[in-house]
């Protein structure tokens, strides 16, 4: 047996424990899902989706043009008029239960596929994305036949056809967040997955076929930004968008003056606030969960750490030690903590903003972990000496990059946390309940996690205030986005 | 003996609890429904809009930090004030809208009743729109409705009091502060309500009432970065589209088409944000 120095943690190596890529049952090509069938784009256009961990192509996917989007919206309209609006709530409910079960049954396949296409660690796709997607369908299945009890009046009506545009950071989960409440409320849908992560939504479409959901109730159009723009411009009754604040504003502007309903779930620059009485080992885990979960590709990420001055040094010392142990690499390896950055473009954006961090005078600490040669990678990075005016403190990096600021009093913590145009999520760490609630009350954010971070549940409303968007997903509140109330 | 000369009143703006004539010094003539001169009314400028938004922002914290019980009492106090000056309101509503005295009195009565309805909402919004969420894990998870912040109201152009009351009372009841642009041609009942609010213990700046040319000042309100919500009741479809496009620049929440007589909660919900708190549970 090889001798290892037992005293240094870095010498403790795990053997690779990869999940088999074959479980994803990848096909060479994937079509659009329109009117219950998989079809090619009208003009035959396709694009390639790649594995960001290897830069190898995974499959070719149909690129939906305007004609395809129009066909999908027409199919959704027909399905709404002819079938879905006449389907009872109890029946809709049972379709959703079926879908939830099928997701559970195909969970391994979905988890591997998601990690291949997105780059996220299999541990996360297996334990978070896929189970939460199934749970979301389960939750809203139960609402479909109880809408009159949801607090929106005695006779809540669906809106009609919903156009739904989702991002690449949680491809399957975001599809579930969009489809489940929309279908429960009696709408039909045209879903547009992100360009770089189209595959899991197409497998979900297969699941909808297996569940025998009536044709056209859900349609999936894959493609780039032009596909999304075509969907927004089409005669839908509702647009739901999750993505950047920049694009969200464009959509809101385009829909101004139209009766189309809109909900937006946009960017964030979440503050994770640590008070001096908090249990520091738990805090460090929470900070890591807050910013390195899903490579930091999380709109509600705790990307600004606000730590009370008296414990700052201690927290940072422990944090660096913990960050050094994060395992970056093969997303399919069950021991991986941080996977691949989703795309070359995103990696470039992270590099640009971190370069600005150094240029503006912040102190950079980057984990010394080894990175694979091929693929898109960014080592976990922590900036200290960050000023509120720095770009890394104001702009969403959407990567594994933490900016650390300090404060002295609760008032200062609140003021700094709210010093942003965003308002999606914040964290508060303290053992003192009264202080936690005092702070939570003053934070301008849609979600506040106290002594935890990045928790999601289908029963819990999620969404932002200010430039992080409007409308809620999840819970009873999530129904409002799809009801004419 | 000569006939007594009447003392004529110029209606002024309400900004931050004070009644300026407009920093621009301008006023315009308001006519009744038959085209006869009614009064001179202050004509708000762009600067007045910005001043009103600043006042509303600084009042928001104070208004929201009152207990819900207290906010309800303040709105009820406003209803008391309106009731006491009901005759004056009815006369002005009648002249502005060209309706019979009985109809005008009925309109005022409905408006006051609406205020009372919203007064009662202040300490019920949280229970009706919020609650505990049964998450799958050791967390106490609850959602509370919190105000969007500063709400700009472009009041209905036809209904001078009833629609105005609904449009401003709903966001106030939810804890927002309001900058309201009164009907351009029928502004007096709204201005009167503003006067009454100054003696209702309302936090100064919680309700700001501007009179003037809608086309001139509404875009300033819609595009203002510190306005969180916008009620476009008083804009036609084309103008509403333009204003909504301006509002999109800062992701401002936009409300269109709420019915002032609806007993639903559309208006109350429109400028409320759901804030959800997760707290760990452990021994």
Mean pLDDT rounded to a whole number for chain A? 96
The answer as to whether B2 is a domain residue is no
The answer as to whether B124 is a domain residue is yes
Q: At what angle do helices A225-233 and A66-82 cross, to 10 degrees?
A: 50
How far does the CA of residue B277 sit from the closest CA of chain A (Å)? 5
The pLDDT-based confidence of B151 (bands split at 50, 70, 90) is very high
- Say whether pLDDT at A355 is over 80: yes
Q: What is the mean pLDDT of the segment spanning B93-99?
A: 98
| pLDDT tens column, A92-115 | 999 999 999 999 999 999 999 999
Write the ipTM: 0.94
How far does the CA of residue A386 sit from the closest CA of chain B (Å)? 26
Residues whose CB falls within 8 Å of the CB of residue A289, separated by 6 or more in sequence, listed in order: A452, A453, A454
Q: Give the percent of chain A with pLDDT over 90.
A: 96
How far does the CA of residue B198 sit from the closest CA of chain A (Å)? 27
| pLDDT tens column, A38-95 | 999 999 999 999 999 999 999 999 999 999 999 999 999 999 999 999 999 999 999 9
The answer as to whether B261 is a domain residue is yes
Domain of B125, in residue numbers: 10-280
Residues 113-152 of B with CB under 8 A from A: 128-129, 131, 133-137, 139, 141, 143, 146, 148
Are B160 and B209 a contacting pair, CB within 8 Å?
no
The residue from A195, A265, A473, A480 that is catalytic is: A265
Our answer to whether residue A189 is catalytic in this structure is: no
Structure tokens at B27: 């006023």
- Say whether pLDDT at B240 is over 80: yes
Q: What is the mean pLDDT of the segment spanning A183-188?
A: 98
CATH number at residue B209: 3.40.605.10
Residue for token pair 């001043």:
B51
pLDDT value at residue B261:
83
Number of domains in chain B: 1
Residue for token pair 């859900």:
A218
Nearest alpha carbon to residue B157 among B240, B271, B81: B240
The DSSP secondary structure of chain B, one letter per residue, reads -PPPPP---EE--BBTTB--S-TT--EEEEE-TTS-EEEEEE---HHHHHHHHHHHHHHHHHHHHS-HHHHHHHHHHHHHHHHHTHHHHHHHHHHHHT--HHHHHHHHHHHHHHHHHHHHHTTTHHHHH-EE---SSSEEEEEEEEE-SEEEEE--SS-SSHHHHHHHHHHHHTT-EEEEE--SSS-HHHHHHHHHHTTTTPPTTSEEEE-S-HHHHHHHHHH-TT--EEE-TTS-HHHHHHHHHHHGGGT-EEE----TT--SSHHHHHTEEEEEEEEE---
The answer as to whether B109 is a domain residue is yes
The answer as to whether B4 is a domain residue is no
- Say whether pLDDT at B193 is over 90: yes
The answer as to whether B192 is a domain residue is yes
The answer as to whether B259 is a domain residue is yes
- Say whether pLDDT at A1 is over 70: no
Among the partner residues B135, B237, B275, nearest to A257 by beta-carbon distance: B237
The pLDDT-based confidence of B167 (bands split at 50, 70, 90) is very high
* Rg over CA atoms, chain B: 20
The answer as to whether B37 is a domain residue is yes
The pLDDT-based confidence of A5 (bands split at 50, 70, 90) is very low
CB contact under 8 A, A446 and B277: no
Q: What's the distance, CA A418 to chain centroid?
A: 22
Helices (H), A303-397: 309-324, 344-359, 391-394
């Amino acid at each position: 047996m090889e001798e290892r120095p037992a005293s240094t943690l870095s010498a403790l190596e795990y053997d690779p424990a990869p999940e088999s890529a074959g479980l994803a049952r990848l096909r060479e090509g994937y079509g659009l899902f329109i009117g219950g069938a998989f079809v090619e784009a009208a003009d035959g256009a396709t694009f390639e989706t790649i594995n960001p961990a290897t830069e190898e192509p995974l499959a070719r996917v149909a690129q939906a043009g305007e004609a395809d989007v129009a066909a999908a919206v027409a199919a959704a309209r027909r399905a709404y008029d002819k079938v879905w609006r006449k389907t009872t709530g109890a029946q809709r409910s049972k379709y959703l239960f079926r879908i939830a079960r099928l997701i559970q049954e195909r969970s391994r396949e979905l988890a591997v596929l998601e990690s291949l296409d997105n780059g996220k660690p299999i541990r996360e796709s297996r334990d978070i994305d896929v189970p939460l997607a199934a749970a979301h369908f389960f939750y809203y299945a139960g609402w479909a036949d109880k809408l009159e009890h949801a607090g929106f009046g005695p006779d809540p009506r669906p809106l009609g056809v919903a156009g739904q545009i989702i991002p690449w950071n949680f491809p399957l989960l975001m599809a579930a967040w969009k489809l489940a409440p929309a279908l429960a409320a009696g709408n039909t849908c045209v879903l547009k997955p992100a360009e770089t992560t189209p595959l899991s939504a197409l497998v979900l479409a297969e699941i909808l076929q297996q569940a025998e959901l009536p044709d056209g109730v859900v349609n999936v159009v894959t493609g780039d930004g032009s596909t999304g723009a075509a969907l927004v411009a089409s005669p839908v009754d509702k647009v739901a968008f999750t993505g950047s604040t920049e694009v969200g504003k464009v959509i809101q502007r385009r829909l101004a003056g139209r009766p189309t309903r809109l909900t937006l779930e946009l960017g964030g620059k979440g503050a994770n606030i640590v008070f001096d009485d908090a249990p520091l080992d738990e805090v460090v885990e929470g900070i890591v969960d807050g910013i390195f979960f899903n490579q930091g590709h999380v709109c509600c990420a705790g990307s600004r750490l606000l730590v009370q001055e008296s414990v700052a040094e201690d927290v940072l010392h422990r944090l660096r030690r913990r960050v050094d142990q994060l395992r970056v690499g093969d997303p399919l390896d069950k021991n991986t903590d941080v996977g691949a950055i989703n795309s070359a473009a995103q990696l470039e954006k992270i590099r640009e903003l971190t370069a600005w961090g150094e240029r503006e005078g912040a102190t950079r600490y980057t984990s010394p972990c080894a990175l694979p040669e091929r693929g898109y990678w960014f080592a976990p990075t922590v900036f200290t000496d960050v000023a509120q005016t720095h770009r890394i403190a104001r702009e969403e990096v959407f990567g594994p990059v933490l900016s650390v600021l300090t404060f002295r009093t609760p008032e200062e913590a609140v003021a700094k946390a709210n010093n942003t145009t965003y308002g999606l999520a914040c964290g508060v760490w303290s053992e003192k309940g009264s202080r936690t609630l005092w702070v939570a009350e003053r934070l301008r954010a849609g979600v506040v996690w106290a002594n935890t971070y990045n928790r999601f549940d289908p029963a819990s409303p999620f969404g932002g205030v200010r430039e992080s968007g409007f409308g809620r997903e999840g819970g009873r509140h999530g129904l409002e986005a799809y009801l004419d109330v | 003996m000569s006939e007594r000369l009447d003392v004529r009143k110029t209606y002024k703006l309400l900004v931050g609890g004070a009644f300026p004539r407009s920093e621009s010094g301008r006023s315009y003539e308001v006519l009744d429904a038959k085209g006869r001169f009614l009064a001179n009314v202050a004509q708000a400028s762009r600067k007045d809009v910005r001043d009103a938004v600043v006042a509303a922002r600084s009042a928001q914290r104070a208004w929201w930090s009152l207990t819900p019980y207290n906010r309800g009492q303040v709105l009820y106090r406003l209803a008391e004030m309106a009731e006491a000056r009901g005759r004056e309101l009815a006369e002005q509503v009648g002249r502005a809208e060209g309706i019979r005295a009985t109809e005008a009195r009925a309109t005022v009565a409905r408006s006051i009743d609406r205020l009372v309805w919203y007064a009662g909402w202040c300490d019920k919004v949280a229970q009706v729109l919020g609650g505990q969420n049964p998450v799958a894990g050791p967390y106490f998870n609850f959602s509370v409705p919190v105000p969007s912040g500063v709400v700009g109201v472009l009041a209905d152009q036809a209904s001078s009091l009833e629609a105005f009351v609904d449009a401003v009372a709903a966001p106030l009841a939810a804890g927002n502060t309001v900058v309201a642009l009164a009907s351009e041609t029928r502004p007096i009942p709204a201005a009167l309500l503003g006067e009454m609010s100054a003696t209702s213990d309302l936090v100064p700046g919680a309700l700001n009432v501007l009179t003037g040319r809608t086309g001139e000042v509404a875009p300033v309100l819609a595009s203002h970065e510190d306005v969180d919500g916008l009620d476009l009741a008083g804009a036609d479809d084309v103008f509403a589209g333009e204003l909504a496009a301006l509002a999109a620049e800062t992701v401002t929440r936009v409300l269109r088409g709420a019915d002032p007589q609806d007993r639903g909660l559309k208006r109350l919900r429109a400028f409320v944000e759901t804030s959800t708190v997760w707290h760990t549970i452990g021994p």
